[in-house]
């Protein structure tokens, strides 16, 4: 099991719920570490049902989006699914503008997202 500084992970019936420690995900060093921690969930911990809960995240840079795209690729390669929830309107707008809302499964609440894994 990996240790994490930028995220917390809780298991809910086989779904790994990831919450972010930082309110603003902007610093390049933090983003690199965040990417490594999220990727280790798939490569080290062998998790493939991952929910990223963005409750509490106020801002994130475009460099963080690259880490999410990379994680999505790893999860799919592991025959898994990745969902995102709790996105603030400002962050969700970035997903819409970049058309990443078509790449990621975006859900309003954690409960909606966890339920969607069971479908």
Look at residue 2 and tell me if it is in a domain. no
Domain membership of residue 76 (yes or no) is yes
SS3 2: coil
Q: Are 92 and 101 in contact (CB under 8 A)?
A: yes
Q: Give domain status of residue 107, yes or no.
A: yes
Asked if the model's pLDDT at residue 113 lies above 70, the reply is yes
Does a structural domain hold residue 110? yes
Domain assignment present for 119: no
Q: pLDDT of 15-64, one tens digit each?
A: 999 999 999 999 999 999 999 999 999 999 999 999 999 999 999 998 99
Average pLDDT over residues 98-119: 96
**pLDDT score, position 3:** 78
- Whichever domain contains 54, its CATH number is 3.30.750.24
Distance CA 56, CA 43 (A): 26
Could you tell me if residue 83 is inside a domain? Answer: yes
Cβ count within 10 A of residue 107: 20
Question: What mean pLDDT do residues 71-89 have?
Answer: 97
DSSP output for 35-60: HHHHHHHHHTS---EEEEE-TT--EE
Q: What is the mean pLDDT of the chain?
A: 95
Number of domains in the chain: 1
Q: Is residue 6 predicted with pLDDT exceeding 60?
A: yes
User: What angle in degrees, to the nearest 10, is found between the helix axes of 28-43 and 62-77?
Assistant: 10
């Amino acid at each position: 099991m990996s240790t994490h500084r930028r995220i917390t992970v809780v298991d809910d019936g086989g779904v790994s719920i990831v919450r972010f420690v930082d309110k603003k995900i902007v610093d390049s060093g933090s983003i690199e570490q965040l990417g490594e921690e999220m990727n280790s969930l798939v490569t080290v911990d062998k998790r493939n049902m991952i929910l990223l809960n963005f409750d509490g995240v106020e801002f994130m840079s475009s460099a963080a989006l690259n880490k999410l795209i990379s994680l999505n690729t790893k999860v799919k390669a592991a025959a898994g699914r990745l969902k995102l929830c709790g996105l603030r309107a400002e962050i969700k707008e970035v997903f819409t503008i970049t058309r990443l809302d078509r790449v990621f499964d975006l859900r309003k609440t954690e409960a909606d997202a966890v339920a969607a894994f069971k479908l």
